[in-house]
Amino acid sequence: MKAIYAEAPYVIGIRDIPVPEPREGEVLVKAAYAGICGSDLHAYHGKHAFRKPPVMLGHELSGTVARLGPGVSGLALGLPVTVMPQINCGACAACRKGRPHLCENRIMPSTPGWRGLGAFGEYFPAPASVLCPLGDVPLDLGALTEPLAVATHLMSRIPRDHDENLVIIGAGTIGLLLLIIAPSYGFKKILITDIQDENLRLARELGAHAAVNVSREDAVAAVKGFFGPQGCENILVAAGGPDILEQAMEMARPGAAILFVAMITAPSSFVSYPIVYKELNILGSFNYTLEDFASAIAFLHSHEAPIRRLISRVMPMEQAASAFEILDRKSEFAVKILLQMS
């Protein structure tokens, strides 16, 4: 089968590799669409924490059940599915505490535990336990389940007693998905920031009450101008540079939560003073659980039209190299690019 590899930094290649055999408890999925994620781009740059070239990429996919491995039954061939690209052990302290996404023995695609396979191939094997039926969600949209589950997981981390005001820093795929689902979580007043006007225009069309270009405007002043001088109680960080924590702390009202989903690797220094005197909650949000995948699939049903607007292009897998170049060079406006795998 054809499989897309980051062969070296900035080099995408298509290899011919054997179709994987589904093992005990596994299902072989025939891929339909696969989304290119920011983390695939990190790997393309040679900067991903564990996906180092040469490596097969991809973890956001939709497809259909093609073969059942030994011990698997009850799944119809041709069933439209997506895969939660994360296998947990069920036995470690995190798993026992009901936090499978923080499993100490977690297995992710492109690692030896997943036989080095990523989702950018014509077929992808996965344990039946992480297979999620898509129902009547169209397959192209189904490839957005994974980033949407990142967004639903983050929403589940916001303290329940918080108010209805929300700042979203970053209007990329995750920021825009957060924006689309935020009203369903009770948020009524949403300000979003980015450095690209086109992303902000889309954010406005998708319901943002304020969309601020922080390459021209001061983010903290904009937030205080919009929500009042105390700032905002809920700040989601879906993009940003080294000074983003300090900015977020400045725009946070007392008792606020600042939730990071962006993986900012540039070192940053900060003073603890605002964390203490405003009693801030600085939280992270990592990946998702099967419950988040279920919520994400429900949102794909109920919010198909707005979520579809994030699919900027669908390109055949043979054009993966150009797709990565578009995203890397920002040579055209693109939120999510899907590769058509078959």
Degrees, nearest 5: CA angle 69-75-78: 95
Q: Are strands 210-213 and 232-237 parallel, antiparallel or unpaired?
A: unpaired
Smallest distance, Å, CB 12 to Zn ion?
Answer: 17
> Quick one: which of 339, 333, 342 has its CA closest to 319?
339
Per CB under 5 A, does 290 bind Zn ion?
A: no
> Quick one: which of 24, 15, 39 has its CA closest to 265?
39
- With respect to Zn ion, which residue has the nearer C-beta, 173 or 193? 173
User: In this structure, are residues 54 and 8 in contact, taking their beta carbons and an 8 Å threshold?
Assistant: yes
Per CB under 5 A, does 143 bind Zn ion?
A: no
Question: CB atoms < 10 A from the CB of 324, how many?
Answer: 24
Per CB under 5 A, does 103 bind Zn ion?
A: yes
Measured CA to CA, the distance from residue 330 to residue 334 in angstroms comes to: 7
Q: Candidates 90-98, 171-179, 275-283, 291-299 — which segment interacts with Zn ion by CB under 5 A?
A: 90-98
Backbone dihedral angles phi then psi of residue 121, each to the nearest 5 degrees? -145, 170
Per CB under 5 A, does 92 bind Zn ion?
A: yes
Question: CB atoms < 10 A from the CB of 24, how many?
Answer: 9
* Residue from the set 95, 177, 190, 339 that interacts with Zn ion by CB under 5 A: 95
- With respect to Zn ion, which residue has the nearer C-beta, 83 or 249? 83
Per CB under 5 A, does 37 bind Zn ion?
A: yes
Per CB under 5 A, does 151 bind Zn ion?
A: no
Smallest distance, Å, CB 36 to Zn ion?
Answer: 9
Tell me if residue 305 falls in helix, strand or coil.
helix
- With respect to Zn ion, which residue has the nearer C-beta, 26 or 60? 60
> Quick one: which of 211, 205, 208 has its CA closest to 193?
211
- With respect to Zn ion, which residue has the nearer C-beta, 12 or 144? 144
Smallest distance, Å, CB 212 to Zn ion?
Answer: 26
User: In this structure, are residues 299 and 184 in contact, taking their beta carbons and an 8 Å threshold?
Assistant: yes
- With respect to Zn ion, which residue has the nearer C-beta, 130 or 256? 130
* Residue from the set 75, 89, 275, 294 that interacts with Zn ion by CB under 5 A: 89
Per CB under 5 A, does 107 bind Zn ion?
A: no
Per CB under 5 A, does 310 bind Zn ion?
A: no
Q: Helix, strand, coil % (nearest 5) of the chain?
A: 35, 25, 40
- With respect to Zn ion, which residue has the nearer C-beta, 110 or 199? 110
Half-sphere exposure of 48 (CA within 13 A, CB side): 24
Per CB under 5 A, does 199 bind Zn ion?
A: no
Measured CA to CA, the distance from residue 2 to residue 61 in angstroms comes to: 15
- With respect to Zn ion, which residue has the nearer C-beta, 27 or 95? 95
Measured CA to CA, the distance from residue 203 to residue 163 in angstroms comes to: 21
Write down the number of H helices and E strands in the chain.
Answer: 12, 16
Measured CA to CA, the distance from residue 332 to residue 250 in angstroms comes to: 33
Q: Candidates 45-53, 55-63, 129-137, 250-258 — which segment interacts with Zn ion by CB under 5 A?
A: 55-63
133 has which bridge partners?
81
Total residues contacting Zn ion (rule CB under 5 A)? 7
Q: Candidates 46-54, 80-88, 136-144, 198-206 — which segment interacts with Zn ion by CB under 5 A?
A: 80-88
Backbone dihedral angles phi then psi of residue 86, each to the nearest 5 degrees? -165, 120
The 58-77 site mask, x for binding Zn ion (CB under 5 A), equals --x-----------------
Per CB under 5 A, does 315 bind Zn ion?
A: no
- With respect to Zn ion, which residue has the nearer C-beta, 18 or 98? 98
The 13-32 site mask, x for binding Zn ion (CB under 5 A), equals --------------------
The residue ranges that bind Zn ion (CB under 5 A) are 37, 60, 88-89, 92, 95, 103
